[in-house]
Structure formats: structure tokens, C-alpha cells
Amino acid sequence: MGIQASSESGTPRGEEAIPAPLLRDYRHIGGIESIEIDGTRYFFGYDFSEDLVLSPLINDHELMSVFAETHMEQRDGLHDREYWRGLVDESLEYSALAEQESCSFEAEQLRLIITSLRNTAETGAPAPDFNYPYHLRFLLASAGQWKERFTATTEGIRSIKGTEGAAEGTTLEQIARDVLRETRNVMNAAGVTGHRSSTHSHNDITRYRSPTSKPPVDR
């Protein structure tokens, strides 16, 4: 997709500067959510009634407002850019999907999650520091059109952390393998690959930068 130059105010000019919606079937009713990755804040449109991510991850306030004005609406109808800009700003302080502490993570964290699951699957040893943020799982599952819902993950996190034992008829190794399988499935469905090194950029089809924004720095 071509990207137009920006005006001095930072507002993109021309339709080509506006990222395409992830779903093109119709204009969805939705709101604005945000998540912080590696210290950079990303915004995205979200349809709460259907549990769907509507937009790429956009790291520019104004561009998110333009996207919402162009591709989204609310229950009372269409709104202008200024209205959506207010919702973009509100998303910095409030999320309807998760607590604020769950709306920030490092890309390296996903690699560490996979590494920890592999270790437990191989050794059967619990991982007391294992942390799989709800907001990360929710965003990945929604971006993958809910082809994977993290059922085993939701049920198995406490066992992997060692705060409760494995259910009768299963083992910790199997629980870790099931969570790892769900993670791989949802990454494939969402078009996301693991973060392999500190110099390897993220391969995430849901990310979009405005024409004037600086690329995020991998840590």
C-alpha cells in the first residue's frame, strides 16, 4: 500500500495514507483501544459486540482518528475526526478490555513466554515467574479472528506457575505443550512470528506507522 506525504500538522493527505481495515465487509460499530509495545503506544479500533480487532496497530493519534472517521461508527452513527480524537486520547487512560497494567508489554516477552513453555514441556518443572498477559492473549486471538481462544492457557496458567497442581489425568508437561500449541496456532492465525533477536524487527501484519512517525526501537 502506497503512503502519501503528510501535511505540516502531521495529518495524512489522500486515501492511500489511511491504512485499510482488517475487515472489509462493512463499517463496524466500535471504539478505540490502545496497547504499549516496547515503549511505543499503539492504537486500534475494536468491535466489542463481535470481539474483533478492526484496524492495524497505529502509533499515531491523528492517523487513528482518521482511520476511525473513515472506517468506523458508533451506535449513534457516524462521527467526525475530532470526536474520534477524543476517544483516542481516552484510550491512554482507560481500557474496556483489560486493566491498564495489562496493556503494556515488551515484544521480547512473547519470546520468553515460548521459551518458558518449552522448558516446562520438556522438564515438567513449574515456572513461578511465568506471565502471559491477558491483553496480549486477547489481542492475538482477536487478530486471528478467534480461530484459537486460549482455552488451555486460561485453565493451565496457574499449574504452569506452580500455584496449583495439574488436574487428574494430565501432567504439567502436557499442559505446557497445550499452551504452546495454542500460542503457535494463534500466532499463525494472526500473522505474527516470534521475536528471535534484539536486532530482528517484529513481523506483525497488524502494525502500521504513520508517514511521519519514527520506527519503534527493538529492545
Per-residue pLDDT of 51-79, as tens digits, reads: 888 888 888 999 999 999 999 999 999 99
Question: Is residue 159 situated within a structural domain?
Answer: yes
Q: Give domain status of residue 87, yes or no.
A: yes
| Distance, CA of 57 to CA of 33 (rounded, Å) | 10
Structural contact between residues 106 and 37, judged by C-beta atoms closer than 8 angstroms: yes
Q: Which ranges of 72-193 would DSSP assign to H, the alpha helix?
A: 81-90, 107-123, 134-143, 151-161, 172-190
Check residues 42 and 30 and name the one with the higher pLDDT.
30
- Return the top range by mean pLDDT from 34-48, 93-107, 133-147, 200-214: 34-48
The range of the structural domain enclosing residue 68 comes to 15-103+202-208
**Domain assignment of residue 182, yes or no:** yes
* Same-domain pairing of 125 and 98: no
Residues 119 and 173 occupy one common structural domain: yes
On whether both 127 and 158 belong to a single domain, the answer is yes
Q: Tell whether 99 and 118 lie within a shared domain.
A: no
Domain match, 24 and 96 both: yes
pLDDT value, residue 153 = 94
80 & 127 share domain: no
Both 30 and 41 in a single domain? yes
**Does 218 map to a domain?**
no
- Beta strands 207-208 and 57-58 are parallel
Residues 143 and 174 in one domain: yes
- 74 in any annotated domain: yes
In terms of domains, do 19 and 99 share one?
yes
| Between 195 and 40, the higher pLDDT residue | 40
Given this model, what pLDDT does residue 208 score? 40
Rounded distance between C-alpha atoms, residue 38 and residue 41, angstroms: 8
In a domain, 149, yes or no: yes
Give residue-wise pLDDT tens across range 71-118.
999 999 999 999 999 999 999 998 887 676 667 777 788 899 999 999
Question: Do 34 and 86 fall into the same domain?
Answer: yes
Q: In a 3-state reduction of DSSP, which class is residue 185? A: helix
Closest-CA residue to 44 (of 87, 83, 102) = 87
Total tally of structural domains belonging to the chain: 2
Note whether residue 73 is domain-resident. yes
Q: What confidence score (pLDDT) does residue 68 get?
A: 96
Same domain for 115 and 71 = no
Closest CA to 55 of 19, 83, 16, 91: 19
CA angle 112, 46, 179 (to 5 degrees): 30
pLDDT band at 203 (very low <50, low <70, confident <90, very high): very low
Res 194: pLDDT: 53
Q: Is residue 2 part of a domain?
A: no
